């Protein structure tokens, strides 16, 4: 093992940057591998183009004749681009993407070969559902699964394969993926937000949820990563002594991007640009070897597809540059972890961002309406929103110094808080002329100026307003954004729907004017959602106590966080908004719990391998070296050797104590795993892994890291943090 570590270090030191040729403007390269609107104009008939556009905008069905025309056009374009295969590209409940490739090649009855791709292959396929996680759906019904084309996300060519974004459903129509519920949630928020937006502009006919994700990640030299079994098997380092120099000097943050990394980034951006992923920002993050990439905002469904595609492209480009990408939320102890901040807003088809104030009091009232309704939605469903970011890997990050706590709160800044406080004092019922003037000129009218100065951003807030959007910061770096975006858009849709009912009731029954009715309802929402607003430090014990007083949830781990999914209120929410049936919700809870169990189980098994296969043998080898040294001193000095070997004897004892403790803890952990595995109920098994197995991990790590400090560097078998985190 000694040789593999040092061979990996030697390999990593011999790497050179790969020269990436950059020709032409990015704008000219953008979307060349995407069947976008420009390609549609070239390849589709007028009828097919109008039908496809209508399906993309309104979700209407495309008849078979038109589907055949679209398929023929896409095939012609794809083959002209060098594609040989096609696939339905979907998002099963594994958290990543899946694909089954079929060749365009086919044989006719007379033996003639030709390229074939019709409307049937475009619209639907049957990839089988039996081996994908389903949370029991396939046991209840039939195992078959079907993929169905999602026209709102354009087809693209990746390598030599035409990829067609699709949903994935069971034989009886239950969603077996993350995309189908997302599309339903986006439809729900479109309907609800459009109805409310019409209070302010009758021309609005559609509202899109927009998303701008920020992808954080670590880059590790490939040879170094492969020298660590824990990185390869779990995506993180299970053991490792913190190096003398980590991130404490903040010298990596926004620093000069290392040459090899810049070459990787340039190559990645080039491929992303071809695939229509609008990457824009790149920089060093806080931790050594940590970086970030961010795109331009897009419609949420497309943004999520692009993020999933990006992660796949990153892996492939990294391999080409002899890197390994780590998307784990906390791959290294003692330094920052990685998130995927989700910047969310709502935009009308008239080009207005509903979370951005305007030039008139009425436009600012529109802003306040969507701003306050979002706050109210998060307050009502904060525990459900917390469940959307729960995972075994994100548990290691949430509540750490750089990440949001597990307690959900909203940061809006002092200036906007003062605006809300003033609105809270609005009179009930009809407004006096003086009050209307005060509101329009001195409260609502000054919002643009307030936001211009609202730069005090709490970087650790789980849900923060940042000028013209809300930023959900707890999302894990390897999480499929569809999960939090499905829940966020669902709860906002429900809240806006309820808001419109209340406003209409005041207009119809109390004869209030529209703006008076809106102010009256918003005033009540400000009062009832006040507990969720918090501008302070989320790490302090005082905040935990305060959050408890405010009756905010504090679900610290995944099994706790997922419990809310099947509450009566949650099931009613998803059913009423037509986002998920009870069967679909229960299935997702089951899958997420199973994922938690399996990830924790794998980590436990890898600890076994590390301790028995690497750490204890190395410790005993070094202990034997010390024993041999002491024996030699005894031969030379006799009884007087003790004054020369006192240090060695102490180290021999310390090593022995750590080895004994390691063996006891690993064996006890294995027994706890066996007991947990014997449990049939998934919830109880997840809780057993959380409460009875996982606590051993920290103690095992503690003793391993103590041994790493004690031992001869040449004998330590695992690549150290200082070697993993100092990329040149």
3-state secondary structure 268-294: HHHHHHHCCCCEEEEEECCCCCEEEEE
Exposed / middle / buried, residue 501 (Cβ in 10 Å: 0-12, 13-18, 19+)? exposed
Nearest Cα neighbor of 479 from 376, 392, 568 is: 392
- Given a cut of 50, whether residue 401 has pLDDT beyond it is yes
Task: Provide the token pair at 307.
Answer: 């993020």
Q: Are 387 and 398 in contact (CB under 8 A)?
A: no
What is the DSSP-derived secondary structure letter of residue 258? P
Percent of the chain with pLDDT over 70: 96
Q: What is the mean pLDDT of residues 161-165?
A: 96
Q: Are 282 and 291 in contact (CB under 8 A)?
A: yes
- Given a cut of 70, whether residue 459 has pLDDT beyond it is no
Q: What is the mean pLDDT of residues 51-72?
A: 83
- Given a cut of 60, whether residue 345 has pLDDT beyond it is yes
The two beta strands, 207-221 and 323-326, are antiparallel
The pLDDT value given to residue 1? 46
* CA–CA separation, 681 and 592 (whole Å): 14
Nearest Cα neighbor of 261 from 290, 287, 286, 281 is: 290
- Given a cut of 60, whether residue 142 has pLDDT beyond it is no
Nearest Cα neighbor of 124 from 149, 97, 99, 104 is: 149
Radius of gyration for the chain, computed over Cα atoms and rounded to the nearest angstrom:
29
Task: Provide the token pair at 233.
Answer: 């098997």
Span 520-546, pLDDT tens digits? 999 999 999 999 999 877 667 788 899
Q: What is the mean pLDDT of residues 186-200?
A: 97
Q: Number of H helices and number of E strands within the chain?
A: 28, 17
Query: What is the maximum span of the chain, computed from C-alpha positions, in angstroms?
Result: 105
| Residue 452 pLDDT level (bands cut at 50, 70, 90) | low
Span 684-725, pLDDT tens digits? 999 999 999 999 999 999 999 999 999 999 999 999 999 999
Exposed / middle / buried, residue 41 (Cβ in 10 Å: 0-12, 13-18, 19+)? exposed
Nearest Cα neighbor of 118 from 69, 158, 159, 151 is: 69
The two beta strands, 323-326 and 124-125, are unpaired
- State the Cα torsion 652-656-658-660 to the nearest 10°: 180
Q: Are 359 and 451 in contact (CB under 8 A)?
A: no
Q: Hey, is 713 helix, strand or coil? A: helix
* CA–CA separation, 83 and 288 (whole Å): 40
Q: Phi/psi of residue 296, each to 5°? A: -75, 150
| Residue 455 pLDDT level (bands cut at 50, 70, 90) | very low
* CA–CA separation, 619 and 617 (whole Å): 5
Q: Poorest-confidence range of 129-133, 232-236, 498-502?
A: 129-133
Q: What is the mean pLDDT of residues 386-391?
A: 97
Q: Are 291 and 314 in contact (CB under 8 A)?
A: no
Task: Provide the token pair at 117.
Answer: 């791709």
To which H or E segment does residue 299 belong? strand 298-299
Sign of the C-alpha dihedral computed for residues 655, 656, 658 and 659 taken in this order: positive
Q: Hey, is 134 helix, strand or coil? A: coil
Percent of the chain with pLDDT over 90: 68
The pLDDT value given to residue 164? 96
Half-sphere exposure of 155 (CA within 13 A, CB side): 27
* CA–CA separation, 668 and 675 (whole Å): 11
Exposure letters 51-62 (e unless 16+ CB within 10 A, then b): bbeebbeeeeeb
The two beta strands, 290-295 and 298-299, are unpaired
Q: Are 128 and 4 in contact (CB under 8 A)?
A: no
pTM of the model: 0.94
Q: Phi/psi of residue 145, each to 5°? A: -135, 155
| Residue 65 pLDDT level (bands cut at 50, 70, 90) | confident
Q: Angle of helix 179-197 relative to helix 482-509, nearest 10 degrees? A: 30
Task: Provide the token pair at 536.
Answer: 């302070």
Q: What is the mean pLDDT of residues 169-196?
A: 94
Mean pLDDT across the chain: 91
The vertex-653 CA angle with 651 and 656, nearest 5°, equals 110
Query: Which alpha helices (DSSP H) does 116-178 contain, by range?
Result: 119-123, 137-140
| Residue 16 pLDDT level (bands cut at 50, 70, 90) | confident
Q: For residues 63 and 100, which has the higher predicted lDDT (pLDDT)?
A: 100
Nearest Cα neighbor of 443 from 469, 463, 423 is: 423
| Residue 457 pLDDT level (bands cut at 50, 70, 90) | low
- Given a cut of 60, whether residue 145 has pLDDT beyond it is yes
Beta-bridge mates of residue 533: 410
Q: Tell me how far the alpha carbon of residue 589 is from its chain's centroid.
A: 17
Q: Phi/psi of residue 660, each to 5°? A: -60, -45
Q: Are 462 and 554 in contact (CB under 8 A)?
A: no
| Residue 453 pLDDT level (bands cut at 50, 70, 90) | low
Q: What are the Cα distances from residue 491, in Å, to 192, 375, 385?
A: 11, 10, 9
Under 8 Å CB-to-CB from 79, ≥6 apart: which residues? 104, 115
Q: For residues 17 and 195, which has the higher predicted lDDT (pLDDT)?
A: 195
Query: Which alpha helices (DSSP H) does 401-464 contain, by range?
Result: 414-424, 433-438, 447-452
The pLDDT value given to residue 727? 67
What is the DSSP-derived secondary structure letter of residue 61? -
- Given a cut of 70, whether residue 2 has pLDDT beyond it is no
């Amino acid at each position: 093992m000694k040789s593999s570590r040092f061979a990996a270090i030697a390999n990593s030191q011999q790497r050179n940057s790969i020269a990436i040729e950059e020709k032409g403007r990015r704008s000219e390269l953008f979307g060349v591998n995407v069947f976008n609107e420009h390609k549609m104009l070239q390849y589709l008939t007028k009828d097919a183009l109008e039908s496809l556009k209508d399906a993309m905008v309104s979700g209407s069905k495309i008849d078979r004749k038109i589907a055949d025309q679209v398929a023929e056009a896409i095939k012609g374009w794809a083959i002209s681009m060098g594609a040989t295969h096609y696939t339905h590209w979907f998002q099963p409940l594994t958290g990543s993407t899946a694909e089954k490739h079929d060749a365009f090649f086919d044989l006719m009855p007379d033996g003639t070969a030709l390229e074939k791709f019709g409307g049937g292959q475009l619209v639907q396929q049957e990839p089988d559902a039996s081996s994908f996680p389903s949370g029991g759906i396939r046991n209840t019904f039939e195992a078959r699964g079907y993929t169905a084309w999602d026209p709102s996300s354009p087809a693209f060519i990746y390598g030599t394969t035409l990829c067609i974004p699709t949903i994935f459903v069971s034989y009886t129509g239950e969603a077996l993926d993350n995309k189908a519920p997302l599309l339903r949630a986006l439809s729900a928020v479109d309907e609800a937000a459009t109805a409310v937006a019409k209070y302010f502009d009758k021309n609005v006919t559609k509202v899109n949820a927009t998303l701008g994700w920020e992808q954080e990640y670590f880059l590790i030299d490939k040879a170094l990563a492969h020298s660590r079994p824990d990185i390869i098997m779990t995506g993180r380092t299970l053991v490792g002594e913190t190096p003398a120099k980590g991130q404490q000097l903040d010298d990596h943050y926004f620093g000069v991007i290392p040459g090899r990394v810049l070459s990787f980034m340039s190559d990645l951006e080039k491929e992303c640009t071809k695939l229509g992923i609008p990457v824009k920002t790149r920089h060093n993050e806080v931790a050594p070897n940590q970086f970030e990439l961010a795109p331009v905002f897009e419609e949420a469904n497309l943004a999520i597809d692009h993020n999933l595609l990006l992660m796949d492209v990153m892996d492939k480009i990294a391999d080409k540059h002899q890197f390994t990408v780590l998307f784990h939320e906390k791959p290294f102890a003692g330094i920052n972890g990685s998130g995927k901040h989700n910047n969310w807003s709502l935009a009308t088809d008239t080009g207005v961002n509903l979370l951005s104030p305007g030039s008139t009091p009425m436009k600012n009232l529109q802003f306040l309406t969507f701003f306050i309704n979002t706050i109210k939605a998060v307050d009502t469903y904060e525990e459900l929103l917390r469940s959307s970011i729960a995972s075994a890997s994100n548990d290691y990050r949430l509540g750490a110094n750089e990440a949001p706590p597990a307690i959900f709160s909203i940061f809006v800044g002092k200036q906007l808080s003062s605006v809300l406080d003033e609105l809270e004092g609005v009179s009930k019922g009809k407004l006096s002329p003086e009050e209307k003037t005060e509101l329009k000129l001195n409260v609502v009218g000054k919002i643009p100026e307030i936001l211009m100065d609202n730069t005090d951003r709490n970087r650790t807030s789980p849900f923060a307003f940042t000028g013209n959007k809300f930023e959900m910061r707890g999302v894990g770096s390897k999480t499929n954004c569809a999960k939090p975006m499905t829940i966020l858009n669902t709860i906002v849709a429900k809240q806006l729907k309820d808001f419109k009912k209340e406003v209409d009731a005041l207009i119809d029954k109390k004869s209030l004017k529209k703006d008076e009715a809106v102010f009256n309802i918003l005033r009540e929402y400000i009062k009832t959602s006040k507990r969720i607003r918090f501008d302070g430090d989320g790490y302090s014990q005082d905040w935990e106590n305060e959050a408890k007083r405010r009756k905010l949830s504090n679900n610290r781990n995944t099994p706790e966080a997922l419990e809310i999914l099947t509450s009566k209120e949650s099931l009613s929410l998803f059913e009423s908004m037509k986002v998920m049936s009870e069967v679909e919700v229960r299935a997702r809870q089951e899958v997420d719990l199973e994922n938690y169990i399996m990830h924790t189980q794998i980590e436990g098994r890898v600890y076994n391998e590390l301790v028995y296969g690497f750490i204890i043998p190395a410790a005993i080898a070094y202990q034997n070296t010390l024993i041999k040294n002491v024996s030699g001193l005894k031969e030379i000095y006799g009884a007087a050797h003790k004054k020369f070997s006192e240090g060695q004897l102490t180290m021999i004892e310390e090593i022995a104590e750590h080895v004994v403790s390691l063996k006891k803890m690993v064996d006890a952990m294995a027994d706890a795993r066996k007991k947990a595995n014997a449990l049939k109920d998934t919830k109880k098994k997840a809780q057993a892994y959380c409460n009875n197995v996982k606590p051993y991990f920290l103690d095992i790590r503690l003793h391993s890291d103590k041994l790493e400090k004690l031992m001869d560097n040449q004998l330590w078998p695992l690549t150290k943090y200082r070697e993993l985190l100092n990329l040149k």
